[in-house]
Structure 1
């Protein structure tokens, strides 16, 4: 990996020629904007001072500031190239901004006054131009060099701070995108995990009918299952689906299961309103609850069992409830709560919504087993919770 300070992108609102990218090989936008910005600001501020106080009452003229700014831009570019070479090594940056920058600042002031004084000696020019004694000219030269040094060091600190800030932002964005991609991959893997789990339960249903010599019903069930699986596997709606479509899938599955239990299974569906109907939820999030209601409620009971699916809003969250007649026993609840389907639901909810979503299962009033999924608004999906 290159040790230089390199950004993911250099942003300009206009196109630059390749020449500029050769002059500014790294962080081109920050370099150009900061270098020209600092020295343009230097020239403008000091020009206002000349205009307000008058050239005769001010120590420097517009010509002085213009020449200083032009030369300083070149010197600052040289400092930028040195910082680009040392890259992200703090010790190197500190060294560059001390020893070499002192010589750069001194050279800038000397070259500026050399141009303005030509062919007069620099110290003589300073003495005459600023109305000071020859003995004080060297001290004045040192003061100007020190001010220039402070400006160069200030620019260097500003440039490095901006580079570090952007690199940190790029790294943070990259990490968030990577985490999001990993999370979405996990969600898809969990969703695909449901397909073999569902097929396994469906084949058990067919097997049960064959064992009971209900071949016609078994054939009908196979055809219905084939249509259902084709519908599910060909669904291109992505990882999210509306409550209305999700429940419609489960109703179709319940109709298939009624072939096995024509006299013992009934179902009822209630969706509160249109807002709830259009609420986006993970695909097949309700499927394991329906399977458990049939496996532990209908299949183990000799009495008729009603499975109820209800979708409502409560405190700004979606509440999905799957309930069936019966009671969860201590031993059964352990089996009921640790299966592949329920673990899948919890992991998918955690991945999509973090702690904002939950799954609860228990005995309700009136001999009912109730499974409840709480889902927040879609805007809270993949929210970064405090860890």
Structure 2
């Protein structure tokens, strides 16, 4: 059963005035709909039965049914308040429905006949209204009480089922909100990890130029790094950007590295038109480009070509970074890679679950290849659903 202490930022529970909140502290919409729904159905059935058959036993005045329904609604509200007190303790809720409800049903029939039959005694009223001998009135009293007991029991079951469903919905909303916040925090932490990683490599490039007494290229490189970092930091709040934006940032980075390797670094870019607007994590390609420069261009004495490709493969996006050269393999892992590739895998897992992945290794024609596979939004966590 729903707890009174669960907040409702999910808008599953309507906002009401303090008066109604005092009367219905928990699940006011469920309580009102179920209480009035059950007794409205009871009232309608009895009116139709009296109108269709017109037997003496069912020919009560309309006001009798109204009074009976009104008293029954009040008693059901009292039962609701009892259930609210036990909150989510199912055993206590069942006990209330089974035991105290018996006395509530007896009290309902007693009070109804007392009001409708006054100043006659209750048994005399039952005998007169239902046209039965006085000695059978007590049996009729208990029969009617048993019917009310079943109705109260049925209402309680309906209300508890709806309240439990509401509780699960609220818990699910909170769980999803918490999961979203956790994933966003993890994504930002992983992304922040890239900035010092890039800066460390970039400063190494500046240091190399200074050591080689290439002051003008070093100065241009510092300016380019400053512009690049300013661009990255200005986009810091945007965790997901388009493929086109991401590759544009990587082109800027490669242009920075071309200052250090003007004769050895070549790059090409190939983007399918239909994936340009595909949203991907910002800087997801950065470690791959850095590795291509660090392990390909920097360790080669001949020109090295870096190719960036973004294509659609069925219903998935493939981001491929290749560069000339070969890497030594140990088992299934590529030697010489650390923080960058681990960062990519962790970010992909945080955002897409098992539906995305990163694959690295030696490609054909003396090249090294790294491929990121990203699903569309409808496939995120798709492997979790049965």
Do these two structures clear the TM 0.5 threshold for a shared fold by scoring above it?
yes
Alpha carbon RMSD of aligned pairs, Å? 2.2
Deviations 1:291-341 (A, max 9, x none): 111111111111111111111111111111111111112369956464100
The answer to whether residue 347 in structure 2 is matched with residue 348 in structure 1 is yes
1:190/1:357 CA distance change after superposition, 3 Å: same
How far apart are the structure 1 equivalents of 2:143 and 2:277? 72
Which stretches in structure 2 are left out of the alignment for 5+ residues? none
1:76 is aligned to 76
Q: 1:96 to 1:334 in 2, by over 3 A?
A: closer
Other-structure match for 1:121: 121
Q: What's 1:364 paired with?
A: 363
Closer, same or farther: CA 99–378 of 1 in aligned 2, 3 Å? closer
Deviations 1:343-377 (A, max 9, x none): 00111111111111111111111111111111111
For structure 1, the 5+ residue unaligned runs are none
How many angstroms does 1:218 deviate by?
1.0
DSSP 3-state at the match of 2:344: helix
Contact kept in structure 2, 1:268 and 1:309, CA below 8 Å: yes
The change in CA–CA distance for 1:7 and 1:204 in structure 2 (over 3 A counts) is: closer
State the 1:94 CA deviation. 2.2
Q: CA deviation at 1:34?
A: 1.5
What are the within-5 Å matches in structure 2 for residues 35-184 of structure 1?
35-54=35-54, 56=56, 58=58, 60-184=60-184
Alpha carbons 1:55, 1:61 under 8 Å: kept: no
Q: Are the equivalent residues in 2 in contact too, given 1:105–1:152 (CA < 8 A)?
A: yes
Which residue of structure 2 aligns with residue 305 of structure 1?
A: 304
- Structure 2 equivalent of residue 200 of structure 1: 200
Q: TM-score when scaled to structure 1?
A: 0.93
SS of residue in 1 equivalent to 2:289: helix
Conserved? CA contact 1:356–1:375, under 8 Å:
yes
1:185 and 2:188 aligned: no
Q: Does the 8 Å CA contact 2:327/2:368 hold for their aligned counterparts? A: yes
**Superposed CA offset, 1:107-161 (max 9, x none):** 1111111222222222122222222222221111110010011111111121122
Give the conservation status (yes or no) of the 8 Å contact 2:56–2:131.
no
Deviations 1:30-89 (A, max 9, x none): 222221221111101211111111253636553332221111111111111111222222
With the length of structure 2 as denominator, give the TM-score of the two structures.
0.93
Task: Supply the distance in 2 between the matched residues of 1:185 and 1:269 (Cα, whole angstroms).
Answer: 32
